[in-house]
Amino acid sequence: MKRFFKRLLALALCGGMLLVSAPAAFAEESIDDLNDRYKQLQAEADALQAKVDNAKTERAKQEAIKEKTTQEIGIIRSQIAVLEQKITALEEEIARKEEEIDGLEESIDENYDLFKRRMRAMYMAENTSMLSLVLGADSFGDFLTTSEYLRRVAQHDQDILDDLKQTLEDVETAKAAVEADREELASTKTEVEAMKWQLDQKLSSTVAQIQSIDQMEKEFLADIAAKQKEMKETQDEIDRIYAAMEESGEFVGGTFMYPVPGYTYISSYYGWRFNGTDFHTGVDFTGSNVNGKKVVAANAGTVTFTKSTYIAGVGYGKYLILDHGGGYSTLYAHLSSINVSVGDEVRKGENIANVGSTGWSTGPHLHFEIRVNGKHTNPLPYLQG
Closest CA to 150 of 15, 5, 16: 5
Gap between the Cα atoms of 235 and 319, Å rounded: 13
Report the run of H or E that residue 284 belongs to, with start and end.
Answer: strand 283-285
Gap between the Cα atoms of 279 and 339, Å rounded: 29
With beta carbons less than 8 A apart as the criterion, state whether 292 and 354 touch: yes
The C-alpha angle 53, 54, 57, rounded to 5 degrees, equals 95
Collapsing DSSP to helix, strand or coil, 370 comes out as strand
pLDDT tens-digit profile, the chain (385 residues): 334 333 433 433 343 333 333 344 445 557 777 777 777 777 777 777 677 667 665 556 666 766 777 777 777 777 778 778 878 877 887 788 788 777 777 776 776 677 667 666 666 654 445 555 555 555 555 555 655 655 666 666 677 667 667 767 776 776 777 777 778 778 778 877 877 777 666 655 555 555 555 666 666 566 666 766 777 777 778 888 888 887 778 899 889 999 999 888 888 888 877 666 667 889 999 887 888 999 999 999 999 999 998 887 778 899 999 999 999 999 999 999 999 999 999 999 999 999 998 987 877 899 999 999 989 999 999 998 5
Gap between the Cα atoms of 277 and 341, Å rounded: 35
Q: Identify any residues that bridge with 335 across adjacent strands, giving them in sequence order.
A: 318, 355
Residue 325 falls in which region: left (phi positive, over 0), alpha (psi -120 to 50) or beta = left
With beta carbons less than 8 A apart as the criterion, state whether 361 and 312 touch: no
With beta carbons less than 8 A apart as the criterion, state whether 192 and 80 touch: yes
With beta carbons less than 8 A apart as the criterion, state whether 98 and 178 touch: yes
Neighbours of 205 (CB within 10 A): 20
